Amino acid sequence: MKDFLFNDDLEIKNGDFAIGESDNQHVQHILLSSKGEYKERPELGVGLERMLNTEEPMEFLIEAKKNLEYDGLKVNNISFTEQGTISVDAKYIK
């Protein structure tokens, strides 16, 4: 999917908004945002910071997968890596 690109703020190229492949950016935004942050879809958002403070990491993965699928992504795999990061293999269904 193509969309405006962000890098802590909107990216600017040649005096205009940068547009490019944004699937990973959308995944990141969904994982970081909390429910209610998107006005048009108040039920969307995982709240990564809140979820990682729980005793049940599987709850987080289940909630993350549900939210990504709700946004139209086909999730092939989502898991925690040995380094403590989150690995997401997902693509938008066209």
Q: Tens of pLDDT along 30-64?
A: 999 999 999 999 999 999 888 777 777 888 899 99
Instruction: Identify the domain containing residue 69 by its residue range.
Output: 2-92
Model confidence over 63-92: pLDDT tens digits? 999 999 999 999 999 999 999 889 999 999
Total count of domains within the chain? 1
Beta bridge partners, 16, equal 13
Is residue 67 within 8 A of residue 78, CB to CB? The reply is: no
Q: Answer whether 64's CB lies under 8 Å from 56's CB.
A: no
The CATH number assigned to the domain holding 14 equals: 3.10.450
- The pLDDT score that the predictor gives to residue 38 is 92
Where are the alpha helices (H) located in 3-70, listed in sequence order? 23-32, 48-52, 57-70
Distance, in Å, from the CA atom of 44 to the CA atom of 83, rounded to the nearest integer, reads 27
The encoded tokens of residue 58 equal 């599987």
> If you average pLDDT over residues 7-15, what whole number do you get?
84
Query: What was the pLDDT predicted at 21?
Result: 84
Res. 10 pLDDT band, cuts 50 70 90? confident
